[in-house]
Every structure is written in structure tokens, then in C-alpha cells.
Amino acid sequence: MRFRSIPDTLLAFFLRLSRYVFFAAVTFLPVAAVAQDLSIAAAADLQFAMQDITARFQQQTGKKVLVVYGSSGNFAQQLRSGAPFDVFFSANLDYPRGLEEDGLIDPGSIYIYARGKIVLWVLNGSSLNPGAGLPVLLQSTVKKIAIANPDHAPYGKAAVAALQSEHVYERVKEKLVLGENISQAASFVTAGAADAGIVALALALSPNMRDKGKYAEIPASDYPAIEQACVILRSAKNKEVARQFLLFIQTKPSQDLLRQYGFDVALATPHR
């Protein structure tokens, strides 16, 4: 039984609301961050894993951590404009490298903490079988497909690459609905505003999604590796706490949490 899509007016509301929330979060961060020991800009796919990791860090160290989630490309732009973060967790390596080239990071601090994965996800009750792979999106019942905006979201770039690899992109590109980040793209599908979504495995395994739908992993050979990296900003006001947090990310308990959310941490390594 096919579920009904929410009208385009609601989809437009989602887009406007999320843009406002992101703008407000960044705009008012300096006020909120006054009482924090560490401020982190993190890719949206990390939301649930990072909540667990920061909770443990705060419990063990007594340090207060503020995390703002969004798209990696938008954060990179904000950081170039002086956004007041201490640490940046990107969904790919390219944005931290770009900041390094611009002299905006603490030298030698880039750390590849995980490799991300993408999945095809649909709501429970959908007639679509994600196990059939991306060609299932060619079915006439599919009117909207949610992905993150490939212009600034690494998971969106991976989604487009996978669609192209499976030779379906040209036939479905008019159906694509772009979220500002991968979390928003996932919310379109969970709300019924899209018939299917290509989202991060980390979100498919999250409490918000794991009982609401079904998914199948997209072969890693279909898209470039999503090497996710973090970095300490040169302008960080709390560098010692930032270094302490990056070391905490490399501990076995933190890596185990990342694995629980579908990240591959076997290749986690400092970037040379």
C-alpha cells in the first residue's frame, strides 16, 4: 500500500523552517557559547552519535559542550566568515583540507574519524522494496526522492554519484527534493513529503528512524568514499579542551559508538 505524499506547500514549509533554524543557531551561537567549554560545528549525520559521545565526554571531564548540526559546506563558509567554533566535524575530508589551505586550522589537527555510508530508505508500509536497489526509484509511483543538496552536503554528492553509477540519475533528477543537509533530507521521507530518500546509514539507525522505515545499503562501489574528518580551528578559544575532545574521539568507547551508528572507523587516522 503506497503512502500519500504531503503536499508541496508543506515541503516548502520544511525548507523555510529549517533555513531559519540553522540561521538562528549560528547567529545566536556567541551568546549561547559563553557558558560552554567547547563549541563544535558538526555534520548533520553525526547528530545522534555525537549526542552520546559528548554526553560521555561531559560526564568524564566536567566540560560543557555545545554542538550545532548542519551541512559541511555551509559550515565551511561560516567558518571562513569567522563563526565562533572550536572544532569542525565535517562529513568529508575536502572541507577541512580547504580550511587548512586557507590557514584557518590548528596545524596538524586534521583527523579522519570515520567513513560514512548511504542507504535507500522508505517508510514502513511503502510498496517500494529498497533491497531492489536504486532502479526501484524508476517506478511510476515514485514522485519525490529526498537527498541532501549536493552543492554543499557530502552525502548529497554521494547520492548523485550513486544514481549516476546505477544509470538512473537522468531519469529521476526531476524528482529530487534537496534538503539543506542530510538530516533535513531524512526528515522529508519520515514526514511523508518524499516517497524515498538516499540518506546516511547513521540516521537510518538512529532512534528517530530505525522503527519507522526499511532500508538497504547502497554498494560502496557506487560512490566515492565518504571520508569524514574533524579539525581544530586556529581561532578556537578553547584549544586545550578541543585537543582533549579529539583524543576522546579516538578512544575505543567513542569508536564503538560510531560503529553502532553505522560508521566505518577501521580507517580512522590522522591526516598527513
pLDDT tens digits, one per residue of 112-127: 999 999 999 999 999 9
pLDDT of residue 179: 97
Average pLDDT over residues 137-152: 97
More confident residue, 5 or 97: 97
Side-chain-side CA neighbours of 89 within 13 Å: the count stands at 27
pLDDT of residue 132: 97
Check whether 86 has a pLDDT greater than 80: yes
Check whether 221 has a pLDDT greater than 60: yes
Average pLDDT over residues 213-223: 97
In what side-by-side order are the strands of the sheet with 111-116?
65-70, 38-43, 87-89, 226-232, 111-116, 269-270
Question: For residue 202, which of 47, 2, 29, 16 has the smallest C-alpha distance?
Answer: 47
Backbone angles phi, psi at 268, to 5 degrees: -60, 130
pTM of the model: 0.83
Residue percentage of the chain with pLDDT more than 70:
85
Average pLDDT over residues 176-190: 97
pLDDT (tens digit per residue) in 21-63: 333 344 334 434 445 899 999 999 999 999 999 999 999 999 9
* Mean pLDDT of the chain, nearest integer: 88
Residue 266 pLDDT level (bands cut at 50, 70, 90): low
pLDDT of residue 35: 59
What would the DSSP string read from start to end of 144-155? -EEEE-TTT-HH
CB 152 within 8 A of CB 91: no
| Residues paired with residue 214 on neighbouring β-strands, in sequence order | 122
Residue percentage of the chain with pLDDT more than 90:
83
pLDDT of residue 36: 80
Residue 5 pLDDT level (bands cut at 50, 70, 90): very low
Check whether 2 has a pLDDT greater than 90: no
Determine the Cα–Cα distance for residues 153 and 180; give it in Å rounded to an integer.
8
